[in-house]
Amino acid sequence: MNQDIAQNIQNGYGAAVAGGAEAKSSVSAELEAVVRFMEDVLVEVDDATTPNAPNPYLNMCLHLLRRHLEGRMVIPSSIIAASGVPYATATRKLTELLESGAVEQRPRSKTGKSVSLHPSPEMLDNWCQLARRIHRLAAVRFGADGFTQENADYYFGGSYQPGKMLIGPPQALPTPMKLSGGLRILVHGDPTFMVMSNLKRQFEHLVGCNIHQRAFSIDRLRGEALRNAERAVSRYDLIAVDLPWLGEFVKKGVLRPLSSIMDLERLDPGDFHTAGWRAAHWDGVAYGVPSQTTPELFFYRRDLFAEAALEPPETTEAVLEAAAQLHEPRMGVYGIAWNAARGTALGHTFMMACADFGQPIINLKEIAGGFDADHLERDDLYPTIDTPKALEAAEYLLALMEFSPPDILSMSWYERVRPYAEGKVAMAYGYTLLAPYFELDPQSPAFCNTGYLPHPHGPGGTPIAPVGGYVFGVPANLPAERVDEAVEALVAFTSPEAQKLFIQNGSRTAPRYSVGSDPEVRRLSPIFESVDQMSWRDELQFWPRPPVPEISDIIQICGHELHDMLRGIVSPKQALSRAQSRAEEAMRKRVT
């Protein structure tokens, strides 16, 4: 089993091994910890021993392993410098390591004159075994809470011990990609994908080729993805797909079914949040892999609630009561911020508000825990906008207007969270991916003062956290010779190791349970534990934005008609009647 694990550590994103992805992550983290421990011990020994002589083999191996586990390139000059011996001696020792098979070299250029160095599977196997022995010896000699001889012989046990579920850094692919023109990715211009852009050079080293990332606003992203599907050859190897678009993109032939180009078990599907993984499917077939699972939550200022002796709001009625009490426009503080901008932004808000009152926007079948959005390949679907529960949702949004900032009718995703981060509003609806606006800013009044809740519910609803985010998919018109490497990139960018790295660099989305459970991730933000708990309580749901092929039209229709309602041009009943009529017409056209 150690040989399999060592091979998996070298490959980074290879097929699942015995023990699963969790075991692989545990081994990788254990190996990194032992490497760093030995480096520290060597420094202490050198300081305490006179005279002493460096061990060039050990120094070079430790340097190579640490850089490999960090996903950073090693070239001959750097490993020679790390040896601790003169250049000529170090060069000779490196040659011996290469001849022994412990170290591999790979060309970095077409001529082969420039190379990078990597630990071989045999070297990683040996060090995995050494890490296990050192871990056991340290526990035996120096003591460890709960340590017994019985668990000393148990395979690591790291995945089952509190605080041991550490995920290591991503590792380089065993074979560098040779994509002509580099890896091309189409994404949304949100904070998580911008973190990917900031880590571009590191991921270029991991995949072995240049990465070209284009980012668009949400509406422009959809337009570009659809235009790309009409081209004879795709301009992109991977495209980010907003969850509600999935049905439309499948019907229009934008995406390849993943089962036709890869073994889905490589992804460890059970590690993804259930709602996020289900939302990546159409009619039971996976067309994407969650790259972000970002539920929309209810943010509230814990300090302001404590000062006003208010309980966190669990219902829409409690939201209005709290907003009224915390609304201080003369002091420049408003009760609540939310998506009310005309079009896409308000359309999403209205759909999710309907869900808060127990009303899906389409006649979905009611099932245990919510509504069935997994089986939408039906001919009997129709809009359910003009209903009593939807009217309650519309009237709730209208009531929020009284306690909202004066520019509420132009607020969308970012605009609603920025004033919350600046301390100008006491509560806000917001996706987790926008939490960095205040979680990473110590000057923000909301810094370390924010509580996270699922959506407060209306009389006919239950607590839910509507799932948003994106999946990565492979374009249907991607040339066959690029598909295999696009799959490798897909696995790499959605791996636990990559997701943890995104979080460590500012992202606040975690599509995998293992990432949200990582102790280092948990220490970065309370949002991950909150989302995990919501997932276990089955509050993460994707049915509020069902991915029917016509959903984008319906979102736009609702976003325009409800905006007229908020402006006072039409009554709530008139807005819903008009939206219902236009949505029915849109669904009669059927997307093909």
**In terms of domains, do 425 and 439 share one?**
yes
pLDDT of residue 84: 86
CATH no. for residue 150? Answer: 1.10.10.10
Domain boundary among 509, 536, 563: 536
In sequence order, what E strands does 63-202 have? 103-107, 115-119, 183-188
CATH no. for residue 251? Answer: 3.40.190.10
Q: Name the band, by pLDDT with cuts 50, 70 and 90, for residue 72.
A: confident
Cα 438 from Cα 2, distance rounded (Å) = 43
Most confident of 59-73, 110-124, 407-421: 407-421
pLDDT of residue 287: 97
173 falls within a domain: no
Q: Which of 287, 184, 182 is nearest to 235 (CA)?
A: 184
**In terms of domains, do 105 and 56 share one?**
yes
pLDDT, tens only, 124-172: 878 887 877 776 777 666 654 444 444 443 333 333 334 446 888 888 8
pLDDT, tens only, 567-577: 999 999 999 99
406 falls within a domain: yes
Domain boundary among 104, 135, 154: 154
Query: What percent of the chain clears pLDDT 90, i.e. is strictly above it?
Result: 62
Cα 477 from Cα 472, distance rounded (Å) = 15
**In terms of domains, do 457 and 477 share one?**
no
212 falls within a domain: yes
Domain boundary among 496, 513, 536: 536
Q: What is the pTM of this model?
A: 0.73
447 falls within a domain: yes
**In terms of domains, do 299 and 282 share one?**
no
Residue 404: pLDDT above 50? yes
**In terms of domains, do 560 and 513 share one?**
no
Cα 498 from Cα 476, distance rounded (Å) = 25
Q: What is the DSSP string of 501-552?
A: HHHHTT-----BHHHHH-HHHHHH-THHHHHHHHHHTT-EESTTS---TTHH
**In terms of domains, do 91 and 57 share one?**
yes
Cα 575 from Cα 414, distance rounded (Å) = 26
Residue 468 has φ and ψ, to the nearest 5°, of -120, -170
**In terms of domains, do 373 and 300 share one?**
yes
162 falls within a domain: no
Specify whether the CB–CB gap between 58 and 130 falls below 8 A: no
**In terms of domains, do 260 and 397 share one?**
no
Cα 131 from Cα 30, distance rounded (Å) = 7
**In terms of domains, do 126 and 241 share one?**
no
Specify whether the CB–CB gap between 547 and 246 falls below 8 A: yes
Q: Which domain holds residue 260?
A: 183-291+468-536
**In terms of domains, do 285 and 299 share one?**
no
454 falls within a domain: yes
First to last CA, the chain: 49
Q: Name the band, by pLDDT with cuts 50, 70 and 90, for residue 68.
A: confident
Q: Name the band, by pLDDT with cuts 50, 70 and 90, for residue 387.
A: very high
Q: Bridge-partner residues for 107, per DSSP?
A: 115
**In terms of domains, do 201 and 320 share one?**
no
pLDDT of residue 195: 87
**Tally of domains within the chain:** 3
Q: What tokens were used for 129?
A: 């075994």
Residues 6+ apart with CB under 8 A from 557: 347, 579, 582, 583, 586
pLDDT, tens only, 435-486: 999 999 999 999 999 999 999 999 989 999 999 999 999 999 999 999 999 9
Specify whether the CB–CB gap between 376 and 546 falls below 8 A: yes
Specify whether the CB–CB gap between 498 and 151 falls below 8 A: no
Three-state secondary structure of 113-127:
CCEEEEECHHHHHHH
pLDDT of residue 22: 45
Sign of the four-CA dihedral 549, 553, 555, 558? negative
**In terms of domains, do 307 and 436 share one?**
yes
Query: Regarding predicted confidence, which is higher, 243 or 127?
Result: 243
